[in-house]
Structure 1
Amino acid sequence: MTGKFPLQPLLDLANTRMDDAARRLGELIASERSGQQKLEMLENYRAEYRERFVDAARAGIGPDELRNFTAFINRIDDAIAAQHVVVEQSRNHTSQGQKVWMAQRNKVRAFDTLSQRHLDQQSRHESRQEQRASDEHAARQHLERDGD
């Protein structure tokens, strides 16, 4: 019978932490994608609104309408700038999450390697014991035959 891997609790903990880090990384990636989609939506909306502004300007607009268009475009530009910051922060968080996950994965791999070495050592030990038992059995049989 093989002995239990003495570091199994640490391997289990490392696996749990790696799973948690993977889940968190998935959430960070989803958040980053959502932020990027929102940025693209704002940029598309700005382009459409600017197009309407150009069309209205060609048709001739009054100073109040011009001011309203300009103010609204400025608000959209502010929202776009703020969303760029959000997206960049999200990218940084995703990058950090990926590093955490990779570090946890490396720990699991290290413990897995130790576990495999432990299993290999136990297997070699069992094989030696079986070989010894087999050799002793064969020697006894040989002595019994020679003794007859």
Structure 2
Amino acid sequence: MASADPLLLVLKLAQDAEEQAALLLKSAQLDCQKRQNQLNALNHYRLDYMKQMQSWQGQAISASNYHQFHRFIRQIDDAIAQQNRVVADGEVQKNYRQQHWLDKQKKRKAVELLLANKAKKRQAAELKYEQKLTDEFASQQFFRRKPS
């Protein structure tokens, strides 16, 4: 009985590595989406607050309230700027995970190609051997039937 091809173990390891990379990519994509949603929420909150302030136009607003409003808007803007950096970092991480997954996928496909080529060569050798046996059998039959 022939032992199992070591490339099958390499293929299994490559498949496992690709699967793990795919899970990490999915996690990075979800994290990136979460970060983007948080940024969208901050932008929406800022917009709502600005609309609220705009609705107060024409009304008497104390200098203290006006100052607090601008300070709060600056804080929201700072939070938005920070969240933009968080989103950018998430994109970098996602792109890294995607490249990592593509590399693992490429390795798996290379091992599959090696196995396919090996199988083709083995099949060609088997066909050649079967043809040789058939030819030998035919020539033996020919010589046995030949009248002496």
Query: Do both share a fold (TM > 0.5)?
Result: yes
CA 28–101 in structure 1, closer or farther in 2 if over 3 Å, else same? same
Cα distance between partner residues in 1 of 2:130 and 2:4: 19
What does residue 78 of structure 2 align with? 78
Give percent identity, aligned residues only: 28
Give the counterpart letter for 2:107 in structure 1.
K
Deviation (angstroms), 1:106: 1.3
The two structures, once aligned, show a CA RMSD in angstroms of 1.9
What does residue 123 of structure 2 align with? 123
Aligned residue runs from structure 1 range 1-148, under 5 A: 4-147=4-147
Choose 10-19 or 57-66, whichever is displaced more: 57-66
> TM-score normalized by structure 1?
0.91
Cα distance between partner residues in 2 of 1:30 and 1:62: 44
Give the counterpart letter for 1:38 in structure 2.
Q
Extract unaligned runs of 5+ from structure 2: none
Cα distance between partner residues in 1 of 2:147 and 2:7: 51
1:18/1:101 contact within 8 Å kept: yes
Give the counterpart letter for 1:54 in structure 2.
Q
1:5/1:118 contact within 8 Å kept: no
Deviation (angstroms), 1:31: 1.1
Query: Which runs of 4 or more aligned residues in structure 1 lie more than 2 Å from their structure 2 counterparts after TM superposition?
Result: 1-6
Choose 35-44 or 65-74, whichever is displaced more: 65-74
SS at structure 2 position matched to 1:14 = helix
Say how many residue pairs are matched.
Answer: 148
Deviation (angstroms), 1:90: 0.2
Extract unaligned runs of 5+ from structure 1: none
Choose 56-65 or 110-119, whichever is displaced more: 56-65
Give the counterpart letter for 2:16 in structure 1.
T
Cα distance between partner residues in 1 of 2:3 and 2:59: 87
> TM-score normalized by structure 2?
0.91
Choose 116-125 or 136-145, whichever is displaced more: 136-145
Deviation (angstroms), 1:71: 2.4
